[in-house]
Amino acid sequence: MEIDKAIRESDDRRLKTKYENAIYVIQRALALYSIEEVAFSFNGGKDSTVLLHLLRAGYFLYKGEQSCSEEGLNEFPIRTIYFESPSAFPEINSFTYDTASTYGLQMDIIRLDFKSGLEALLKSKPIRAIFLGVRIGDPTAVGQEQFSPSSPGWPPFMRVNPILDWSYRDVWAFLLKCKVQYCSLYDHGYTSIGSIYDTTPNALLSNDNSSSGRETFRPAYLLSDGRLERAGRAKRISPVRGSSAVSNGPDNVGSHKNSMLTASAIAVGDEILFGTFGDQLGPTLCRKLHSIGWSVLQTTVVRNEVDSVAEEVERQKSVNDMVFIYGGVGPLHSDVTLSGVAKAFGVRLAPDEEFEEYLRHLIGDQCTGDRNEMAQLPEGITELLHHEKLPVPLIKCQNVIVLTATNVTELDEQWECLNQLSGSSSLLSMLEPYVSKYLTTQLSDVETAHPLAKLCLEFPDLYIGCYRKSRYGSLMISFKGKDQVRIQSAMEALFRKFHPGAFSEAK
């Protein structure tokens, strides 16, 4: 069988592993369901083209194990369904039909929407399982496994996704290694194909030939960052963020100048709770947030335990505009922060090829196996924050930023990068910074308590706090707010309540 031979003769270890896993899934499905009970959903796209050849190989190998003779092994008896639509590209349509005839596919053409089409199909045929070319990273892959029952509200069948864990690069490695035909649009810069209304060539593959008047594009397999395969697809409205207060674009940055944005910080570390090691980052992070006008509502310390992290993240993300979490990131048994974040959002960890590439640069050969645990990130909600000064991008899951800093110097660097990124994107809106004034007094707590309580009522827009460094030393009074004039007025109001010289200003 030519596909099996091409992969077995290749020296691409990663591709071999992906191939073997996919073939395993296909063979399990063929063992679970009779041939009349399975169908292949084929639409001429690159992923379904990969799947077609995997199914051909999988069926061949499965049948070969069952019978001694080679007779009939090259046929492909799996029912193939194609949802034909007038909004499909003509190239996709003709490729689908040509491929069907080349490989003798028994095609059922369905001219209904997916759901109604499947309802009709399942009524007329004994189908129980459908092979799909869905991959992690596709918007529809979130939450799916290799075997996933159809969703509630859909007719009942098993979705079988043999290439769920394949990356964009794996897809192209396979198609090129096996030298099989694929739809011609992929040679002209299309990297993911939807309808004629929502799909254009991927601008990242554009040749700079604007002077010639006709823009041309490089082939899809040259796209180096697979995460951008959908860059040529019209955007759907993205999921709602953790909070509407975080700006969604540069235009909004200014409009937040005077609004209130809140953050919290979560430190993950048993050693902090044992008292062996102090939280290095919390206080610095609070000061930094304050300096850009954000209010910090809470800092917490949680154990290196998935559920503890998940519960805290879940709580904080729903009441804050941004949550910062640090500690517990890496390959150690105690590094559970990303699992906790994933659990808080109800998603799983999935391999992220781009992140893996960064880690590979950083730790080289120590990056073992085909599945790098450190390159698993919360699926469908992760954004990598790139900055030239960062060896590995920071991870942002909706309104949760995972900091990898372990000390203040590293935090300074990461904060600077975050700030610079915020300048050109919507990351952290810069607000009017807080200003602070401090007074000290030798007056007793009892003398100051009542007038200070009244002052707080008179200046509800300011934070007026009191603390002392020792029970018998001087009392420190802090005034924090965004309006210098208001702070001055509050201080003067306080002076008027006591004898002159009762307070002195402190730095």
Ligand X SMILES: Cc1cc2nc3c(=O)[nH]c(=O)nc-3n(C[C@H](O)[C@H](O)[C@H](O)COP(=O)(O)O)c2cc1C
DSSP class of residue 73 equals: T
Minimal distance, residue 161 CB to ligand ATP, in Å: 9
The dihedral through the CA atoms of 359, 361, 364, 370 has a sign that is positive
Tell me whether residue 212 is exposed, middle or buried, using C-beta atoms within 10 angstroms of its C-beta: 0 to 12, 13 to 18, 19 or more. exposed
For residue 137, the tally of other CB atoms under 10 A from its CB is: 23
**How crowded is the C-beta side of 207, counted as CA atoms within 13 Å?**
14
- 64 vs 194, beta carbon nearer ligand X: 194
The residue at minimum Cβ distance from ligand ATP is 45
Q: Where are the alpha helices (DSSP H) in 168-269?
A: 168-178, 250-253
Q: Contacts with ligand ATP: how many residues (CB under 6 A)?
A: 16
- 24 vs 114, beta carbon nearer ligand X: 114
Residues that bind ligand X (CB under 6 A): 41, 114, 118, 130, 132, 140, 150-151, 154, 159, 194
- 116 vs 442, beta carbon nearer ligand ATP: 116
- 159 vs 256, beta carbon nearer ligand X: 159
Minimal distance, residue 107 CB to ligand ATP, in Å: 10
DSSP class of residue 371 equals: S
Interacting partner of 46 out of ligand ATP, Mg ion, ligand X, none (Cβ under 5 to 8 A depending on kind) = ligand ATP
**Through-space distance between the first and last CA atoms of the chain, rounded to whole angstroms:** 80
> Helices 337-345 & 306-319, crossing angle to 10 degrees?
50
Binders in 172-211 for ligand ATP, by CB under 6 A? 192-193
* Helix (H/G/I), strand (E/B), else coil: 227: helix
| Binding region for Mg ion (CB under 5 A) out of 8-16, 38-46, 50-58, 470-478 | 38-46
- 115 vs 361, beta carbon nearer ligand X: 115
| Binding region for ligand ATP (CB under 6 A) out of 130-138, 211-219, 408-416, 498-506 | 130-138
Chain centroid to Cα 351, Å, comes to 11
Among 4, 138, 170, 352, binds ligand ATP (CB under 6 A): 138
Q: Considering the rule CB under 6 A, would residue 261 count as an interface residue with ligand ATP?
A: no
Minimal distance, residue 48 CB to Mg ion, in Å: 8
* Residue burial 233-263, b: 16+ Cβ < 10 Å; e: rest: beeeeeeeebbebbbeeeeebeebeeeebbb
Say if CB 119 and CB 81 are below 8 A apart.
no
Name 159's Cβ contacts closer than 8 Å, sequence gap at least 6: 129, 130, 132, 134, 144, 147, 148, 149, 150
- 130 vs 338, beta carbon nearer ligand ATP: 130
Binders in 187-226 for Mg ion, by CB under 5 A? 193
Interface mask toward ligand ATP for 37-66; x: CB under 6 A: ----xxx-xxxx------------------
- 134 vs 336, beta carbon nearer ligand ATP: 134
Task: Provide the binding-site residues for Mg ion, judged by CB under 5 A.
Answer: 45, 193
Give contact residues for ligand ATP (rule: CB under 6 A).
41-43, 45-48, 81-83, 132-134, 138, 192-193
